[in-house]
Structure 1
Amino acid sequence: MRMKELTINIDTLQLFNLTLIISIIFISVILFKTYNKKAFIYLAFVFFIHAIIGILNLKAYLLSIPITMTVIVIKVFKNQYKLKNTYFIVIVSLSVLNVLSIIMKIKYELIIYAILNLSISKFIIINYIKNKENEIKKEKMKLISNKKQILEITNKTILACNLQNQYKNEILELNNDIKKSIMDSKNAIFILNKDKECIYMNKAFKLMMNIDLHKNEIDIFKHMNSKFLNSIDILEQIQNLNIEKNLKSYDGKIYKFECVKEVLNENRVIICILSDITESTLIKNKLKESEERYKKLMDVLNDGVIIHNMNSIKYINSKAISLLNLNESQTKLSIEDMILSTDEISKAKFINNINLVCMGKAEKISTKIETKTGKTIEFITTTILLNNIKMLLTIAIDISNMENVITDIEQSEKTYKLLLQTLPEGVVIIDKNTNNHIYRNKAMMKILKNIGVESLNNIIKKYLNECDYGKFRKFYTNTNKIKEIEIAIIDRSEDNAFLVVVRTLDDKYKTQQMKEMLDEISDKCRFKAEFLANVANDIKRPINTIFETNKILYLNKDKYDSDYIDNYTRLVKQNCYRLMRLLDNIQQIGHLENGTYKMNIKKYDLINLTSDIVVKSKRYTDEKGLSISFKSDVHKKVMAIDKEKIEKILLNLLSNSIKFTPKGGNINIIINCKKEEVHITVADTGDGIPEDKLDIIFESFEQVDRTLSRGAEGSGIGLSLVKKLADIHNAKIVVNSKINKGSEFTLILKENIETDKLLEKIDSGCDFSDNEKIDIEFSDIYFNYSY
């Protein structure tokens, strides 16, 4: 019974598979014919082999051939079947499983075979049909949409046609209006065709040419030539160009001839218009003549005249061009060109001022500008109407001479006022009408404090009663401080005032006393200078003896049993050097003050001299923990100088920098050559100098720090000597300093061309400063040594 049921089931599966295969073949053929897809005919062919094997009931293993062929066909035409990768993998997997079941003779091979055929039907045949159905639906929707668009376009086309007809009617009406306007126009108008034949004339043209109003055909060239000069030449130029010319008639009238190219009734025509401009031309010529006269008038003016707006210059006369150094060949000038030869600040001020006038914030404004050529120009700007257009009028006046005169007057006034203030006599100016004092100098203020205003006024009244102007007269006062005075009064009728000069007779005695005191002080100073010079000479001998003894002691130090002999001898040597330096400075100052100094001027290379001093000073900076550097903007600079005095200046400045710069600081020596000057700067990062001390540091025996606990040794005459040595070289010393930031001393040497010519030979010595000289100049610098 079971065998029978199984046989029935197998037969049923075989029948189902066969039916399915035939269906696939049938549908594939239909799809091929419908969509002309070769992929489906190949699929039908493969399944036809499936059908033959099934109908003939051939052996089962033969099915593996068409199954394999099916997989290959599906792989090749996968894109045409629009088969997804997932579905393709399922079909391949079922095909492999089916082939394995046939080979291994598994009893379920027909079921797998049926599932494979169902999968192919579903994933390829049915899905393809569904896709096509969706595409058909989309195409149908597109057709519906296109139908709507076509309907809309049709409606728009109908609307456009209606508008076109409407416009056509309006154009016809407009053409009629234009024809009527042309006919009624006061200007003479005629129209030519492409062959230059007259096809239309308006009434004004016919009347002007004396042509019968009913006549429409004429020889235009003949009529024009009989009416105008050179009209044929102009008419012959008319072709495709729009032209505008002036024609002069034989009766003296002037007409403006214009022609334009147009299209009339789909034909190219040339419309020609003649306008009577006789009156306007005459007015224009008169205006031009008037303008030329004004321009000539402007050109002969002594002041510059510029008519402009904020962007450009419309007119500028020759005086302004000369005054502002402009180029006459320039045809277009901008507002910037007016003030090209001045600085940016003055330029901005000028533009701002004329902008105020342009905006109506100022009616008239004046601007003074100093040009780079040294001129002082005053610009006066206001607004004008030119051809009913608001413009700016600027008058440029050269006030250089006036400014110089005003400056001289102001300077003279200052000088006179200063002179009056410094006069020993009292000066007072009294107004004749009010008797008020309208001016008093300083001396007069002092006199009034002692004698009183009332007392002076009474004395003046007594003087005026005698009318003896211009002479000094003696008067007695009622005070103890000033007993008698002399006054002189000058009558300044032009100023309606009295000039009163007052001098106290006590001043004579005071002057004599002051002279005697000054003579006494001078004698003391002379004695002091001579005393210092003699003392210096006397002290030099024992110092030299101590120095030589110390040297012998140092050379025989091995005989003495002392660990500190080196430091002792060094300390003695340094203090000897310090005394030598002090004495030398005193002697130098004495010679400079007495005028007994001698100059040894020779040519030297300043760069090598300064560089050698810096190199030999490095021993001291290294020992104190300072860095020193030298820079110059030139490699060589030869000047006529006294080498020893310049060395003295530089060593003094370097000594101060080393003394007052703490450990870790920097000292920079810089040389800058500027035209006829050489600047040698010694800059440090030391303690700095207070601002209130900068004025006294170059005075003798002055020190920034006078306290007993000051940070460095010194007598206070080093910088005074530096200043005096610089003065005899006609040089300057400039100092800049800030507390805790450092100091900067600059020696400014001026070249002496006459001396340079006389001294042709350059001193070629390379040892510009010896070590002992540096040791002497740096003797105020102390280091910590063990004793």
Structure 2
Amino acid sequence: MGLRKSGIDLIGDVVWGTHISQIYSSKNDFFKFMGPYIKEGLLNNELCVWIYSNNTSLEEIKSILKCHVTNVDDFVHKGQLKIIPYTQWYVKDESFNEIRVNKQWLKLLNHATDNGYDGLRAVADTKWLEKSFYRSFLHYEEIVHKMITELPFIAVCLYDVNRLDPIEFAEIIRNHDYTIMKDKNEFKLIQNIELLVKSEQLVRSKEAYNKLLEYDKMKMEFFSNISHELRTPLNVMLSALQLIEKLKKDADQDNKEIKYLKIVRQNCFRLLRLINNLIDVTKINSEFFNLELKNCNIVEIVESITLSVAEYIKSKGIKLQFDTTTEEKIIACDSDQIERMILNLLSNAVKFTPFGGNIWVNVVDYGNKVIISVKDNGVGIPKNKQKDIFNKFVQVENLFTRHHEGSGMGLPLVKSLVEKHSGKITVKSEPGRGSEFTIILPANTVPNKIYRTKIKSSPTGHNYVERKNIEFWDIYA
């Protein structure tokens, strides 16, 4: 909700819904503040209304306003400024009816917004108020105070100090956010205690929020630094391992040595995946993770990923099938993260599908959305466990066995990445019959973004083959 200039130096800027009172001893007291108050409303596209009492006149008010706004008559003529006697607003048949008056305010507010004004700014003098009306009027003020809180409405109510008793004085302060009064020829501001408490709470909340932001920033800097320190030696080790493996193969050395080297390599990949997942989950939770959205052919991305692991899946005695209802569907997505999501789902499917099983990958074009599903006829997941699999550190394999290692961050990360794409992921599963993970993505595009069909290297610096190796580290034999 934007701030509005009140024109009252004692108060400063206010929000819509602010309810102010001024307790005056002479009309010059309120003329001092109401001229600048109305001026700011006129200059900031607000419909301004002055309800005057029997202690002043239309011409006197216009004269005061002309000290602050040169073209007062123009504002009156076009209807942005209304100067109305209390007899046409508050009193009808010599009585005050709070329901009727509230309806008039709402009608005027609707008129303001319907005619392009930002809202309504009002000042109303209660000098006319008879003692017999005071109780009902103060009740009306209480209702108004609650009513305007959520409305584009700022109001100032003027009260003659000589007509108030201590109880009425206290109620006026209670029913307004701010009260202006004169004390020993000096104007002072009284702030409603409820508003004061809320303001202090807001300040404390902002301070706590800023501390949390700073903590998140420090945490991300720490994770970024530590991930760099961990990745660097791992990448050096992997490069060295690849060189050693090549030399061993060329020298036709003992296969046992090559086997142990593969174990070392797999555990390097394991650490890399753990680091990548940990960093990205932390970034997403802290809102520091941003997608690189470009218009891509989602069908080609999913198909390329599926084909890249087809040979390996076949070697496990599992049949892999890819199908699509269309050859091309352009959507806004981050291709690296789509690859990561699909690789993770395929990795899970391979883990829990036995020899002779099947995995199906489907892409279906529904016009305004695309559905990608990865289905298997493996071990399945019990219904009472399905709600937990997208929670961090819950491992799918714990539901049945510990044959496969894992951190329990893969599926939560997939879910977070899908949601970052404004999508949704669901699971259907039955023990002994398999599982189906379904990703639903909106078929939106982004303007002025290059249409991409080719898979590029990942932001972490790993090429596509290495990303596949990292994701499949725990199922490669």
TM-score by length of 1: 0.32
2:469 equivalent to 1:775? yes
AA at the equivalent of 1:661: T
Corresponding residue SS for 2:327: coil
Per the alignment, residue 698 of structure 1 pairs with: 390
What is the deviation of 1:732?
0.9
Work out the CA distance in 2 between the residues paired with 1:521 and 1:743.
39
User: Is this contact kept in 1: 2:423–2:440, CA < 8 A?
Assistant: yes
Per the alignment, residue 449 of structure 1 pairs with: none
Work out the CA distance in 1 between the residues paired with 2:455 and 2:388.
37
| Pairing 1:593-742 to 2, within 5 Å after superposition | 593-706=285-398, 710-742=402-434
With over 3 angstroms needed to count, the CA separation of the structure-2 counterparts of 1:681 and 1:561, relative to structure 1, is closer
User: Is this contact kept in 1: 2:330–2:443, CA < 8 A?
Assistant: no
Per the alignment, residue 544 of structure 1 pairs with: 235
Per the alignment, residue 177 of structure 2 pairs with: none
What is the deviation of 1:562?
2.1
Per the alignment, residue 451 of structure 2 pairs with: 762
With over 3 angstroms needed to count, the CA separation of the structure-2 counterparts of 1:780 and 1:604, relative to structure 1, is same
With over 3 angstroms needed to count, the CA separation of the structure-2 counterparts of 1:597 and 1:519, relative to structure 1, is closer
> More relative contact order in 1 or in 2 (CA 8 Å, sep 6+)?
2
| Pairing 1:199-210 to 2, within 5 Å after superposition | none
Work out the CA distance in 2 between the residues paired with 1:524 and 1:764.
39
Please point out which of 226, 238, 244 is paired with 1:535. 226
The superposition leaves residues 658-697 of structure 1 with CA deviations (integer Å, 9 ceiling, x where unpaired) of 1121222111011111120110000111222222222222
Work out the CA distance in 1 between the residues paired with 2:456 and 2:287.
30
User: Is this contact kept in 1: 2:323–2:363, CA < 8 A?
Assistant: yes
Work out the CA distance in 1 between the residues paired with 2:259 and 2:424.
40
Corresponding residue SS for 1:698: coil
Structure number having the greater helix percentage: 1
Corresponding residue SS for 1:564: helix
Which residues of structure 1 form unaligned runs of 5+?
1-469, 472-512
Work out the CA distance in 2 between the residues paired with 1:520 and 1:715.
30
Work out the CA distance in 2 between the residues paired with 1:660 and 1:520.
44
Work out the CA distance in 1 between the residues paired with 2:402 and 2:426.
24
Per the alignment, residue 253 of structure 1 pairs with: none
With over 3 angstroms needed to count, the CA separation of the structure-2 counterparts of 1:709 and 1:638, relative to structure 1, is closer
CA RMSD in angstroms comes to 3.9
With over 3 angstroms needed to count, the CA separation of the structure-2 counterparts of 1:529 and 1:603, relative to structure 1, is closer
AA at the equivalent of 1:763: R
Work out the CA distance in 1 between the residues paired with 2:455 and 2:288.
30
What is the deviation of 1:544?
1.5
Work out the CA distance in 2 between the residues paired with 1:737 and 1:521.
39
AA at the equivalent of 1:573: R
What is the deviation of 1:610?
1.4
What is the deviation of 1:601?
2.3
What is the deviation of 1:524?
7.7
The superposition leaves residues 278-304 of structure 1 with CA deviations (integer Å, 9 ceiling, x where unpaired) of xxxxxxxxxxxxxxxxxxxxxxxxxxx
Work out the CA distance in 1 between the residues paired with 2:396 and 2:205.
32
User: Is this contact kept in 1: 2:220–2:283, CA < 8 A?
Assistant: no
The superposition leaves residues 544-599 of structure 1 with CA deviations (integer Å, 9 ceiling, x where unpaired) of 12112212211211458423232222222222222222212222223323333343
What is the deviation of 1:715?
0.7
AA at the equivalent of 1:751: A
Corresponding residue SS for 1:556: helix
The superposition leaves residues 477-496 of structure 1 with CA deviations (integer Å, 9 ceiling, x where unpaired) of xxxxxxxxxxxxxxxxxxxx
Corresponding residue SS for 2:396: coil
What is the deviation of 1:530?
4.9
User: Is this contact kept in 2: 1:533–1:586, CA < 8 A?
Assistant: no
Work out the CA distance in 1 between the residues paired with 2:385 and 2:400.
18
What is the deviation of 1:533?
3.5
The superposition leaves residues 503-538 of structure 1 with CA deviations (integer Å, 9 ceiling, x where unpaired) of xxxxxxxxxx99999999998877665544333221
2:276 equivalent to 1:584? yes
AA at the equivalent of 1:552: L
Give the number of aligned pairs. Answer: 284
Work out the CA distance in 1 between the residues paired with 2:216 and 2:428.
32
Work out the CA distance in 2 between the residues paired with 1:591 and 1:582.
14
Work out the CA distance in 1 between the residues paired with 2:437 and 2:311.
22
AA at the equivalent of 1:618: A
User: Is this contact kept in 1: 2:397–2:404, CA < 8 A?
Assistant: no
Greater Rg by CA: 1
AA at the equivalent of 1:541: T
With over 3 angstroms needed to count, the CA separation of the structure-2 counterparts of 1:766 and 1:541, relative to structure 1, is closer
What is the deviation of 1:724?
1.4
Work out the CA distance in 2 between the residues paired with 1:704 and 1:766.
29
Work out the CA distance in 1 between the residues paired with 2:399 and 2:215.
28
| Pairing 1:263-412 to 2, within 5 Å after superposition | none
Work out the CA distance in 2 between the residues paired with 1:638 and 1:747.
16
| Pairing 1:47-446 to 2, within 5 Å after superposition | none
2:257 equivalent to 1:565? yes
Which residues of structure 2 form unaligned runs of 5+?
1-170, 173-203, 458-462
Work out the CA distance in 2 between the residues paired with 1:580 and 1:619.
23
Corresponding residue SS for 2:438: strand
Corresponding residue SS for 1:725: helix
